[in-house]
Chains A and B, each alone.
Chain A
Amino acid sequence: MGKEILVLVAKELKSEWRLKYALNGIILYVVSAVFVTYLSVGAQQGNLNPPTWNALYWVIMLFSALSAVAKSFMGEPKGLHYYYYMTVAPGALILAKMAYNALLTVLLALLGYTVFGLILGNPVQDQGLFLLNLFLGASGLAFALTMVSAIAAKAGSNATLMAILSFPVVLPILLMCIRVSKHAVDGLDFSVSVDKLLTLMALNAIVAATAYILFPYLWRS
């Protein structure tokens, strides 16, 4: 099981590296989204108020994660799915996909944070908490979106379906990390955010566990 997951993650990384256009495309997506936001709010460095900064950042992350993860099942050819079906356990496949997508989303979130901070100013006072929350939030988004992408792929790879199925499901995670990230921006004491971070972790665990249990049923069809 562990070995299967490692092989699958390595395969995802390799194929992503070979098909650089997908990776570059999503990086460009993040950067342009940040830039569009910057131009449309008409803000100068640092005069966007922190709550708005925080909300805009997470909305952009949601959409970037959505388009990055959507292709994890939907973009793959049907033949590859048959090959997976014959060769690997469904549990290993979904865990590998979730791990890979979490890695990708965390990297995108870090990139988004850097660009956001450069262009719109960086009001975050507690960097450690912000990054920890970013890691948890981005991986949570990735877990939920991976499963939804698998469902949408079975329903004819419909992009609208992907969006409407995923938004309500990721909202609890998103709301939680917007709240914690607001604390990090305001520089509140770590003890204020502990229970929220724990809730966020619990949410991630619930989503990942449900996906792991349900995926074999989905894969069978």
Chain B
Amino acid sequence: MRNSWWKILAVGLLLYTIVAGMLMDAPRLPILNETIRALHFHVTMWFGMILLLVVAVVNSVRYLRTQHLAYDDAASEYTNAALLFGVLGIATGMLWAKFTWGDYWSGDPKQNASAIGILMYFAYMVLRNALPDLQQRARIGAIYNIFAFAAFIPLIFVLPRLTDSLHPGNGGNPGFNAYDLDSNLRVVFYPAIIGWTLLGAWMASVRIRMRRVERAVEEKLINQIS
């Protein structure tokens, strides 16, 4: 119980996000209308993804320093969870774009950049699977993860701001807070970020434990044979 308070918190926050996000008063705005509720399910995905990626990179750095496989498990599983969030973020974003900008894909710099970012992390997964040896996979995976992260951050945060974008807060568009004058959305938005991120961390931690068990079972089998 003492260790699972954050899981209960995650469930609570997400229940709150879904109920309040769907039912509470949202600002009435032209074009956006009720789709503004997607804020709690689209933008939060990106926040969650970036937070999880930061955790993954920190774990990669720790792996390179200590060579403990536990850190490598964490790095790859947090990246997996982040990838899931990224794919969901693109999917929800495309739906939202269809009803506000008119097309599923309108070549917006942020759309393109996030698609490239996801390709980067799919490449990371392919690289890991191409290496059979555990230690080597962990080391080279960690190196590519850090290298990709260094390219990913300017891709997401710097480049879209240099061009015109349909997204709020870029290329002279007002930021999102211009739409949220009475802070009604914020009441749901910030808890939603925490809730989704905790859910991602939860998924990752379950998968990390599964990996550890798998490795232990494997070692046991090997020891029996020899």
Q: What residues of chain A have their CB less than 8 Å away from a CB belonging to chain B?
A: 144, 147-148, 151, 154-156, 158, 161, 164-165, 167-169, 171-172, 175-176, 179, 195-196, 199, 202-203, 206-207, 210-211, 214, 217-218, 220-221
Contacts and interface: CB of A to CB of B under 8 A. Distances in A.
A154 B136 contact: yes
Contact of A210 (B127, B136, B150): B150
Nearest to B140: A154
A77 to B, nearest CB: 19
Contact of A171 (B130, B142, B155): B155
A168 B120 contact: yes
A149 to B, nearest CB: 12
Most chain B Cβ neighbours within 10 Å, of A158, A172, A202, A210? A172
B154 interface: yes
Contact of B154 (A144, A154, A203): A203
Contacts, number: 83
Contacts of B126: 161, 164
Interface string B141-158: 011101110110011001
Given A172-B151, A220-B139, 12 more contacts: A155-B127, A161-B126, A161-B130, A168-B119, A168-B120, A168-B148, A169-B120, A199-B158, A199-B162, A206-B150, A206-B154, A214-B146
B195 to A, nearest CB: 29
Contacts of B43: none
Please classify how large the interface on chain B is, using the bins under 10, 10 to 19, 20 to 34, 35 or more. 20 to 34
A165 B143 contact: no
Contacts of B147: 147-148, 151, 169, 210-211, 214
Contacts of B123: 164-165, 167-168
B213 interface: no
Interface of B: 64, 116-117, 119-120, 123, 126-127, 130-131, 135-136, 139-140, 142-144, 146-148, 150-151, 154-155, 158-159, 162-163
B43 to A, nearest CB: 22
- Main SS at interface, chain A: helix
A176 B159 contact: yes
B61 to A, nearest CB: 10
A52 B130 CA distance: 36
Contacts of B64: 214, 217
A151 B155 CA distance: 21
Nearest to B119: A168
A195 B127 CA distance: 35
Nearest to A195: B162
Given A176-B159, A206-B154, A151 B140 contact: yes
